[in-house]
Structure 1
């Protein structure tokens, strides 16, 4: 499974999200290839899941990947709830 963590510029915030997603995935026992990028680059990639916020998700409407929304990239509980709800754990 491939997961893409997306922010506006693909640098700091998406990297923090990636680290937190990887941590939560380990905690719930799911293996995935997790990468981070900017919203423009994400539109041309085809991961299984894209994790981003509501505002950036608007730029990805119609994308074939499943979009998972997270408001706070630093909140591991929110990330865990979003992943469990969408990955079936």
Structure 2
């Protein structure tokens, strides 16, 4: 599986979010590739799911086919894990 952690410039906050996604995935025994990236790159991506801020969520939902999960607290492993659980229950293939 491929997940994206997205912020405006693809540098700071997306790196923090990426680490939270990786921790939550590891706890669930999920093998995945997590990339941090900027908004415009994410729009052209074929990721299985996109995790981003509340502010960028609507823009991404309207411009990509991937499920988008807005996250309020990037370092909150529980919040990120709940979004990951939702993806697994509703969108994961196979």
State TM-score, norm by structure 1: 0.92
CA distance in 1, matches of 2:31, 2:71: 20
CA distance in 2, matches of 1:62, 1:45: 10
- The SS at the match of 2:75 is coil
Unaligned stretches of 5+ residues in structure 1: none
Map residues 22-41 of structure 1 onto 2, 5 A cutoff: 22-41=22-41
Unaligned stretches of 5+ residues in structure 2: 90-94
CA distance in 2, matches of 1:54, 1:21: 16
1:63 aligns with 2:64: yes
CA distance in 1, matches of 2:58, 2:75: 21
**How many residue pairs get matched?**
89
- The SS at the match of 1:59 is helix
- The SS at the match of 2:27 is helix
Shift of 1:55: 1.1
Structure 1 runs of 4+ with >3 Å offset: none
CA distance in 1, matches of 2:63, 2:16: 26
2:81 corresponds in structure 1 to: 80
